[in-house]
Every structure is written in structure tokens, then in C-alpha cells.
Copies of this chain bind each other. A is one copy, B any other.
Amino acid sequence: MGMAEKEISQAVIGRLPRYFRYLGELKDQGVERISSQELSELMRVTASQIRQDFNHFGGFGQQGYGYNVEYLYTEIGKILGLNKTHNLIIVGAGNLGQALANYMNFARRGFIFTGIFDINPALYGKMIRGIEVRPMEEMAQFVQQNNVDIAVLTIPKSEAVSVAGRLTAVGIKAIWNFAHVDLDVPDGVQVENVHLSDSLMRLSYMLERYETQKNDL
């Protein structure tokens, strides 16, 4: 397990899921081996980048003709922790919370969708992907009694900071945060932000820059 102790850059980590996605597709297509050159062309990153990235994890033994696709897929999956299971709750059963419950294949990533909570009494008892919406007041006890590790926050930013505090107080280990605010959590609690508005603004920027440059020609 020594490899996990090395500090691996955010950039490398950021690329792992994309490798995993392409390797999964190759595997589904029945491809058994692939060279770093072929993977490079498919993914539009340099072969040297691929080899460097893989070297962080021991290189995955490219021998003879390229990598074994199934092996590489399995190993990257293990690095991503996808071979383990964790219970997950969604906090906020509005449009986005419901969409994620229905749309994301949580189970495929080892996450078991276990509970969903809201402050709106009109939603209590509504079934979402087989799970009933519960009142927020039950959240903390539910997390403790059901060994929940991960919370998905799909609540307004005004609520997110205090809810995150209550969740970490009862032992939540990771937060997938869709609230448009940066959370302040204790050491050891992992946060991955999905700031959709920031993403939309990056798109707006690229559009603006392209149009400005075009008009300057």
C-alpha cells in the first residue's frame, strides 16, 4: 500500500477517472491490450503523459505489446476505491437532489444510496429510487445508525455550511458539495465541489473570448 502514501498531484488524480472511463469502454468493446501510443491517440493526451501518470502507481507493467486493458481497468478502479462500498445520503430532495438520485449510477461506483432528506414536509415519504424522503431532523441520527460515510449536498448555500457542520459532527467522511459555497470542514473530511455556476461562467468566458478575438481579426 506504500504507493498510496506518496503525494500525488491533483492533476494526476483529476485524470484517473478519465483513464478509467476510456478503459471501461475498451473493455466493453472486447479490446484486450492497448499501447500507450494507441491510448494517447484515443484520449488526445501525449503517450509520455500517460506513462508518467501510470508511473505514479508503479507503471502497471507494460510488457511486450502495451497494457492489459482488463488489468489496468481493475487496478485504476482499486486506486479510485471503487472496489469498496460506502453508504451515501442525499441532503436536499429538490430538483437537483432527485435528479442525482435518479441519474447517477451510484452503485456502480461503490456508493449505496441509503437515505434522502429535506426540510419540506410536502416531500416527506415521497419515494425516490426506492428510498423515502425523510425530515432533516432525522439526518444526524440516521447517519450514525446506518454507517453513512458520504453526503451529497444539494441544498441552498445559506444552509450548506451549517448542515456540513452537523454532518461532520456525526462522523461523515466525505461531502459531494453542489451548494454554491466553499465548505470549511475538519481535517480528514474530504470535499469534492461541483460548482455548476462556475462551470457555466467558464463556458461564458470561452465564448466571450472567442467572439472578441474573431472581431479583432
A150 to B194 Cα, complex, angstroms = 20
CB-CB under 8 A for A81 and B200, given A95-B99, A95-B103, A99-B96: no
Decide if A203 touches B192 in the complex (CB within 8 Å).
yes
Partner of A4, one of B82, B194, B203, B209: B209
Knowing that A21-B197, A98-B99, A103-B196 touch, tell me 5 more A-B residue pairs with CB under 8 angstroms. A17-B202, A81-B205, A81-B211, A190-B207, A194-B199
A188: B residues at CB distance < 8 A: 210, 214
A97 to B116 Cα, complex, angstroms = 20
Decide if A200 touches B216 in the complex (CB within 8 Å).
no
A122: B residues at CB distance < 8 A: none
Main secondary structure of the interface of A (DSSP, over half): helix
Is A212's CB within 8 Å of the partner chain B?
yes
User: Can you list, as one digit per residue, whether each of A147-191 has a CB less than 8 Å from chain B (1) or not (0)?
Assistant: 001100000000000000000000001101000101000001010
Nearest Cβ on chain B to A57's Cβ, whole angstroms: 11
